[in-house]
Amino acid sequence: MQPLNLPPYTYRTRTQQGRTAIYDRLRRRYVALTPEEWVRQHFVHFLIDHKHFPAMLMANEVSFDLNGTTRRCDTVLCHRDGGRPRLIVEYKAPTVEITQAVFNQIVAYNSVLRADYLIVSNGLQHYCYRVDYATGTGCFLPDIPDYSELL
């Protein structure tokens, strides 16, 4: 797999039915190793090990309903109080350019989930956007915040 713009970590892989699978720490099982999954696993470890996000408040592949269609958010960090989404992440493979369409996708997801932070990453480029519901505005942040910095 392609090197990413994320800290390396010691990952576990194995072969299942002739395909390579990688261990997902949040789902506690092996999942098919695709380029997008490679990004997801690295990014989740980055959030937990370098940005101090509590793994117990995170989940991968969270299903929800969007206009009558079941969608899945790649990663969700929930609030400690009540489980409401605090941050959502959309991953793309490293070969997929981060375009307005990718931002539109996560904004559509957030119209249902109402998270305070939106992150988009292809493993090479990472964008974090903070939503201010009180003013109806938001802004891109210069870096992914540490968990202690989340408002």
- Under the banding of pLDDT at 50, 70 and 90, the label for residue 37 is very high
Say if domain 35-146 classifies as CATH 3.40.50.1970. no
For residue range 56-77, what is the model confidence (pLDDT) as tens digits? 999 998 878 878 888 888 999 9
Domain boundaries, the chain: 35-146
pLDDT in tens, 96-146: 999 999 999 999 999 889 999 999 999 999 999 999 999 989 999 999 999
The letter for the amino acid at 54 is P
